[in-house]
Structure 1
Amino acid sequence: MLVIAAGSIVAAFALNRGAEFAARRLAPRQPARTPLPLLRACRRPLQLAIASGLLLGGESWARFGPATQRAVRHFLVLLALASCAWLAARLVALLIDTSVRFSVRRQDPSRVRRVRTQAGLLRRICQAAIALVTLGAMLMTFPAVRTLGTSLLASAGLVGVVAGVAAQSTLGNLFAGVQMAFADMVRIGDVVVVGGEWGTVEELTLTYVVIATWDQRRIVMPVSYFAGRPFENWSRNDTRITGTALLHLDHSAPMADLRAHFETLLAKTELWDGQGSAFQIVDTTPSTIVVRALMTARDGGDAFNLRCYIREELIAYLRERHPYALPRIGLAPAPDGGRPTDLHGRP
């Protein structure tokens, strides 16, 4: 048995080296298109699968007793099933990653995020299916489990109903995750506003979504929340967004001068994408006017920084050049020494 084991290990190592050499020869020369990390990840499951297969084939040559031979053969069958499942999961990841690399080549960012999100969820679904099938196959190798198989299948309907009721929320999240991925509702890297929180989708699984906020917090939310409630997606089709800054000024504010300075500020900063801008009076009150500075940016982060920059520069400009344009509160002495009067000025 030691000779068979040593020969199996040597043969597995030789076949693995040959497969790695062939992969390097057949892979394209561009490093960006060569999935070598995933190929290296297949090395250990491939070696284990080859070794377990060779050991299983050479086990009959070893001189064991009947009970020992059955136990060794059962162990090798379980090892072969586990190694093949491990290798199948890695191969699925390799195929999906290779397909993503070729499908998103020279494509727009929104398509890249959509394909990567769908590929990640598809990889998890396939790996979960492989693990479930392998576990069932390993359990069926035990005689006691095979004996109970008929009774278990007979009561599968009742068990399925009970399990469905017990795992209703889990199954709801599972189906909601599949719906989100393939209905293109939200993708990894999208900028979203959920529950009043602004952030970026960092991780998307079949049951939960991780949102990274601007202050480096991580919000973990169930997938069913996105499938059943409205939320804002700022980058579903295009990351470009319009930002606004409101200023409350005096009625005597020089609008022409402020508008010219606003255009100068936009021309100087790299935060503005050059697509659109506006400087308008949008409302009035008895004491002030409301001026809105509107400008476009490449994404939500640039829009926020651009709003803060424009607001700060305009206030500094007014404070230095036109201080009278800042809002003021008018005060006047009360008539007749401050005693209350009626509408006609009578005490």
Structure 2
Amino acid sequence: MLNDWLEGGTAVAISVGVAVLAALAVETVMRLVARRQTWARQLMGYARRPFWALALVLGFWLGLRAALMGSDWLTVFSRLFTIAAIAAFAWLLVAFVQFVTDLALGRHRIDVPDNRLARRLRTQTLILRRVAIALIVVIGIGAALFTFDAVRAVGASLLASAGIASIVAGLAAQSVLGNMFAGIQLVFSDALRVDDVIVADGEWGRVGEITLSYVVLDLWDDRRLVLPCTYFTTTPYQNWTRHGSELLGSVEFDLDWRVSPQRMREHLEAVLADTPLYDGRTSVLQVTEATAGFVRVRILVTAKDAPTLYDLRCFVREAMVLWIQSVMPEAAPAQRVLVSDHAAASAPERGGVARPSEQAGEGGLFSGSAEAEERASQFAHGESREARDARAEDEGDDAPAAR
């Protein structure tokens, strides 16, 4: 019995030693490559632990198979180490996926100007990484479960009834699947990207994260707005960085009629020349309306992105207000009230109130003349003036008889 244990321990030690030596050889080669290649250092950082775990599990497993050959414990240990090897191999695959995706993301930075292509690749890469990791985990769990004979029998019965099961699962997970397909559609149709500036649900913010089920918006006031992916496939939203980040904004003033647009235009040029917020593309000052006692002046300016444009609009608005207050105060908006004594002096003496003319020659369409009253009677009573006079004469003849 003691000899059997010694032989088994020796077999396990030899197998583990060979596995350790092989792992050390691979790591030594990778360290030599990492001295000249950055990607090798990154790969070691991701895959070193799962690689050593897989090597040790395989070493123990091979040693125990040699030591327990013909023993009743072989089946139990073989199943345990098979599950451990599957878990270690899945861990190694996940680390490799993370290494590849991070390597791709590092080559396409989004913190630089003109990053539309980089943002699209980043969004698609992150979604693919999540999908790949989810598939690896699901397949690993399934492979571990299929090492049991009972689970294999259940799997065969599930495959036999896959049609009914798929229908039931589709109906039960309709919203989940809808969000998942909407997320894939958003990413691969290039309709929405990470770091896009959008207006959704009445909120302005930047896309911080896109998953297969929801989208996270980083709002301008440090809040986070989480929306389902189906929102962006069924509801209109504004994308301010669809093809570029440059934007045009307006600043409007309601001013007095004594304002000088030409002088305002000259001052606007001086204001824009003194600020780095303006990108130099468009600068327009126009009078868009002149009604209701005011003159509406609209200024159009451009900036490289939405935050810069907001600051530029505030800067221009403040500069023009200060200029109007100091240089042209008469252009400030004002309400006028006209007080005059001519209306009261020209009123007729008949009660002090002017009345409409009652002469026949100055009649209106339905009053003031015989023809006008005839037209009015047709609309008001549905009978002509002659008919009313005849009816009045008949009533006058009947009145003495009644008395």
TM-score by length of 1: 0.89
Distance 1:290 1:9 in 2: 85
- Secondary structure of the equivalent of 1:42? helix
The 8 Å contact of residues 4 and 55 in structure 1, kept in 2 or not, is answered as no
Q: Cα distance 1:301–1:88, how it changes in 2: closer, same or farther (>3 A)?
A: same
Q: Which runs of 5+ in 1 are unaligned?
A: none
**Residue 246 in structure 1 maps to residue 268 in structure 2:** no
Distance 1:267 1:30 in 2: 48
Correspondence for 1:98: 103
Query: Amino acid of the residue matched to residue 257 of structure 1?
Result: R
Query: Amino acid of the residue matched to residue 184 of structure 2?
Result: V
- Secondary structure of the equivalent of 2:130? helix
Q: Cα distance 1:257–1:165, how it changes in 2: closer, same or farther (>3 A)?
A: same
The 8 Å contact of residues 192 and 231 in structure 1, kept in 2 or not, is answered as yes
Q: What whole-Å deviation, never above 9, does each CA across 1:238-277 have from its counterpart, x for those lacking one?
A: 1111111111111111111111111111111111111111
Q: What whole-Å deviation, never above 9, does each CA across 1:88-122 have from its counterpart, x for those lacking one?
A: 11112222333444577999410000001100001
**Residue 205 in structure 1 maps to residue 215 in structure 2:** no
Bigger shift: 64-73 or 7-16? 7-16
Distance 2:245 2:35 in 1: 33
Aligned pairs for 1:32-71 (under 5 A) are: 34=39, 36-37=41-42, 39-63=44-68, 66-71=71-76
Bigger shift: 152-161 or 103-112? 103-112
Per-residue deviation, 1:65: 8.3
Per-residue deviation, 1:328: 0.3
Larger radius of gyration: 2
Q: Cα distance 1:5–1:193, how it changes in 2: closer, same or farther (>3 A)?
A: farther
Out of 87, 90, 100, the position equivalent to 2:92 is 87
Correspondence for 2:125: 119
Distance 1:273 1:166 in 2: 53
Aligned pairs for 1:168-317 (under 5 A) are: 168-317=174-323
Bigger shift: 143-152 or 252-261? 143-152
Query: Amino acid of the residue matched to residue 330 of structure 1?
Result: R
The 8 Å contact of residues 110 and 238 in structure 1, kept in 2 or not, is answered as yes
Distance 2:270 2:292 in 1: 30
Query: Amino acid of the residue matched to residue 263 of structure 1?
Result: E
Q: Cα distance 1:103–1:217, how it changes in 2: closer, same or farther (>3 A)?
A: closer
Query: Amino acid of the residue matched to residue 192 of structure 1?
Result: I
Out of 21, 25, 29, the position equivalent to 1:22 is 29
Cα RMSD (Å): 2.9
Out of 142, 157, 160, the position equivalent to 2:148 is 142
Bigger shift: 277-286 or 89-98? 89-98
Per-residue deviation, 1:178: 0.9
Distance 1:129 1:198 in 2: 35
Q: What whole-Å deviation, never above 9, does each CA across 1:158-193 have from its counterpart, x for those lacking one?
A: 111111001001101111111111110111101001
Query: Amino acid of the residue matched to residue 157 of structure 1?
Result: G
Bigger shift: 201-210 or 1-10? 1-10
Query: Amino acid of the residue matched to residue 71 of structure 1?
Result: V
The 8 Å contact of residues 9 and 67 in structure 2, kept in 1 or not, is answered as no
The 8 Å contact of residues 248 and 288 in structure 1, kept in 2 or not, is answered as yes
Q: Cα distance 1:120–1:14, how it changes in 2: closer, same or farther (>3 A)?
A: farther
Bigger shift: 185-194 or 91-100? 91-100
**Residue 163 in structure 1 maps to residue 169 in structure 2:** yes
Q: Cα distance 1:293–1:29, how it changes in 2: closer, same or farther (>3 A)?
A: farther
Q: Cα distance 1:218–1:7, how it changes in 2: closer, same or farther (>3 A)?
A: farther
Q: What whole-Å deviation, never above 9, does each CA across 1:114-166 have from its counterpart, x for those lacking one?
A: 00110000111111111111111111101111122221211121111111001
Bigger shift: 175-184 or 15-24? 15-24
Distance 2:108 2:234 in 1: 31
Bigger shift: 289-298 or 59-68? 59-68
Correspondence for 1:346: 353
Bigger shift: 148-157 or 290-299? 148-157
- Identity of counterpart residues, as a percentage? 36
Q: Cα distance 1:329–1:69, how it changes in 2: closer, same or farther (>3 A)?
A: same
Q: Which runs of 5+ in 2 are unaligned?
A: 1-7, 355-403
- What is the aligned length? 340
The 8 Å contact of residues 271 and 306 in structure 1, kept in 2 or not, is answered as yes
